[in-house]
Amino acid sequence: MLKRVLILRPEGVEPALLLAGRIADAAEQADVGVRVADTWSDVPDDALDDADLIVCVGGDGTVLRAARLAVPRPLPILGVNMGRLGFLTSLNRDAFFDQFDRILAGDWEVEERLMVAATITEGDAAGRSFYGLNDIVLSRRSPGRPVYVELAVDGERVALYRCDGMIVATPTGSTGYSLSAGGPILAPVERHLVVTPVSAHLAIGRSLVLEPSSTVLLSIRSDEGAILTVDGQEDLPLAGSARVSLSASEHAARFAVLDPPSSFFGHLAERLEVQLSSAMNNGD
């Protein structure tokens, strides 16, 4: 049985605030302890340590944030979307309350998703580490100017890229920025990282799918440096001498799954179609 739940929702988004309040009231009436926090706040460690489940009310951005906050705890995450089909939010508002008894009973399967870990090994920020559920990107700092990034895999030099950026994506992130840059789609339970260059010039322009145990080293060769971005949400400027080591993380993101789709690729096609239709209707 569920005893304590942490609800994350973005501050200032009225529909998310209202839905989070409804979920909190329903949980408290069922004698479940509730903590509610802003997605982008500094969530107290005790709120994470005590929780049995993180309920994310909003979109994929809230889920990505929750996955990083959960590290290193084995906390399951359940995403509730706000009307649009997200890639990481498995339930809409009505489905959540239809399944509320099952959620209270902990009647779900846990699906583990690979995360990518990055450690800065040289430069002013040496020693800092990051975890991403989607991807970690090294990109240019100045519009119109490429970044020079040297790639090594398992200690062997691959190439010096003159590009807009280098994406190191997880299987979950393979349907995001990496896909838009020409990368392959991997099933989310795969254990491989994908390295995808963005607008590479005079270098290998294709993605590399790595062995599960491989380590990537990205060395910045541009005087102006680069920007390290985690899940599209955290940015860190790096100097031109910086190096970043990346590999599959020992920590996994864990999702509470009530009814797994029969086909990942069919489910993916549905969501891509809905997002394309939404973009066309909005004139994007």
Residue 216 CA to residue 259 CA, distance in Å, equals: 35
Number of C-beta neighbours around residue 63 at 10 A: 29
pLDDT value at residue 284: 44
Q: For the domain that residue 262 is a member of, what is the CATH number?
A: 3.40.50.10330
Same domain, yes or no: 58 and 25: yes
Same domain, yes or no: 129 and 227: yes
Contacts of 192 (CB under 8 A, 6+ apart): 171, 186, 209, 210, 211, 212
pLDDT value at residue 204: 76
Same domain, yes or no: 242 and 143: yes
Same domain, yes or no: 205 and 126: yes
3-state DSSP call for residue 214? coil
Please state, in angstroms and as integers, the Cα–Cα distance from residue 83 to each residue in 16, 66, 115, following that order: 10, 20, 27
3-state DSSP call for residue 91? strand
Q: Which of 182, 184, 205 is nearest to 194 (CA)?
A: 184
The DSSP bridge pattern shows strands 194-198 and 165-169 to be antiparallel
Number of C-beta neighbours around residue 266 at 10 A: 10
Q: For the domain that residue 193 is a member of, what is the CATH number?
A: 2.60.200.30
Phi and psi angles of residue 37, each rounded to the nearest 5 degrees, phi first: -140, 155
Same domain, yes or no: 8 and 94: yes
Same domain, yes or no: 162 and 187: yes
Same domain, yes or no: 15 and 82: yes
pLDDT in tens, the chain (284 residues): 899 999 999 998 999 999 999 999 999 999 999 999 999 999 999 999 999 999 999 889 999 999 999 999 999 999 998 766 678 888 888 999 999 999 999 999 999 999 999 999 998 899 999 999 999 999 999 888 999 999 999 999 999 999 999 999 999 999 999 999 999 999 999 999 999 999 998 677 899 999 999 999 999 999 999 999 999 999 999 999 999 999 999 999 999 999 877 677 776 777 666 555 554 555 54
The total domain count for the chain is 2
Same domain, yes or no: 217 and 269: no
Same domain, yes or no: 212 and 257: no
Both structure tokens of 144:
């119109």
Are the C-beta atoms of residues 154 and 244 closer than 8 Å to each other? no
Contacts of 174 (CB under 8 A, 6+ apart): 183, 184, 185, 186, 194
Please state, in angstroms and as integers, the Cα–Cα distance from residue 16 to each residue in 7, 11, 76, 256, 282, following that order: 11, 8, 20, 20, 21
pLDDT value at residue 174: 96
Both structure tokens of 153:
């895999």
Please state, in angstroms and as integers, the Cα–Cα distance from residue 58 to each residue in 102, 134, 204, 235, following that order: 21, 17, 38, 22
Same domain, yes or no: 24 and 120: no
Strand blocks (E) in the chain: 4-9, 33-38, 53-58, 76-81, 109-113, 116-122, 129-132, 135-139, 147-153, 156-163, 165-169, 194-198, 208-209, 215-220, 226-230, 234-238, 243-248, 253-257
CA–CA–CA angle 152, 157, 159 (5° rounding): 90
Same domain, yes or no: 164 and 242: yes
Q: Which of 212, 255, 246, 247 is nearest to 74 (CA)?
A: 255
Q: Which helix (H) or strand (E) holds 212?
A: none
Domain that holds residue 19: 4-113+252-281
Are the C-beta atoms of residues 1 and 55 closer than 8 Å to each other? no
- Active site (annotated) includes residue 259: no
Catalytic residue (one of 31, 42, 46, 60): 60
Number of C-beta neighbours around residue 281 at 10 A: 8
Same domain, yes or no: 262 and 242: no
